[in-house]
Amino acid sequence: MKKILCIDIGNTNTKLALFATGGEMSFIGAIKTDSEATWENCAGDIIDLFRLFGVGKDAVGAVVISSVVPRFLEKVRTASKFIFNTEPLLAEDPEKRVGADIYCIAEFVRRHYELPAAVFSLGTATTVIAVNERKELIGGMIIPGVISSLSALARDTATLPQIAIKPTEMMLSITTHEAINNGIIYGTAAMLDGLAAMMTERYSIKTLMLGGGLAGLFKQYTDKKFIVDEHLVLKGAYEIYEREKE
């Protein structure tokens, strides 16, 4: 039976996941989001990823794309049509009120979790959304994320370096690298806990979730009981495909 390829185009990486009927994920991988690449470059990266996982292109029956990078979207869309010989479905808000990532996350959460729910997605930016008990998207926030904050710190200061974030047991440090690392980790964790507490009080939140590629790292530093799922956008894109098919 043909499977569904869901593509999540983020600011830094583009994730691809292959879903069987019922939502079971066969594989997940990533290529670099590069708006300067040609569609042929993009097609080559996708083909290489399928080869890496030992999956033939004939396994794909439909393609769904969520994107927050318009310039790269058209390249991925063209590459997908060329490789899989099918017109991709764009998973996006018909009214263009919210980004495609938020639209996909809300779709998945409203179908699978107790509501009201709040989701914190940690990526280049940190996005926060809430869905009420009527399955309506209440709204959200967009906050400078871990990756963008680290880049800005290195770019806008004379002596602070760019670092790769890693787990730590220390809160305070006398070395610059560790001080930046610890500040990002504990500062972000405190923000997550603080916003979660405020939103729970104001919107009677019953489910708290962490999404995005950094969710697993930050879960251990928070006091709140967050459910971690790094692939909410991809899973939401699959749900949108199933909804449209119905």
Domain of 157, CATH number, reads 3.30.420.40
20 and 78 inside one domain: yes
pLDDT at 197 (0 to 100): 97
229 and 150 inside one domain: yes
136 and 164 inside one domain: yes
Q: How many domains, the chain? A: 2
Is 228 inside any structural domain?
yes
H or E segment and range at residue 165: none
72 and 171 inside one domain: no
124 and 11 inside one domain: no
115 and 220 inside one domain: yes
pLDDT at 46 (0 to 100): 97
Is 243 inside any structural domain?
no
pLDDT at 123 (0 to 100): 86
12 and 133 inside one domain: no
Cβ proximity of 235 and 66 under 8 Å? no
130 and 226 inside one domain: yes
Cα–Cα distance for residue pair 202/139, rounded to 1 Å? 13
Q: Can you list the residues of the chain whose pLDDT is less than 50?
A: none
Q: Which two tokens stand for residue 15?
A: 């994730």
Cβ proximity of 182 and 171 under 8 Å? yes
**pLDDT tens for residues 62-101?**
999 999 999 999 999 999 999 999 999 999 999 888 999 9
188 and 71 inside one domain: no
DSSP 28-77: EEEEE--TTS-HHHHHHHHHHHHHHTT--GGGEEEEEEEES-HHHHHHHH
Is 241 inside any structural domain?
no
Domain encompassing residue 205: 100-234
114 and 207 inside one domain: yes
220 and 138 inside one domain: yes
Mean pLDDT of the chain: 94
Based on C-alpha coordinates, what's the Rg of the chain?
Answer: 19
User: 0.75 cut: is pTM over it?
Assistant: yes
Is 162 inside any structural domain?
yes
224 and 113 inside one domain: yes
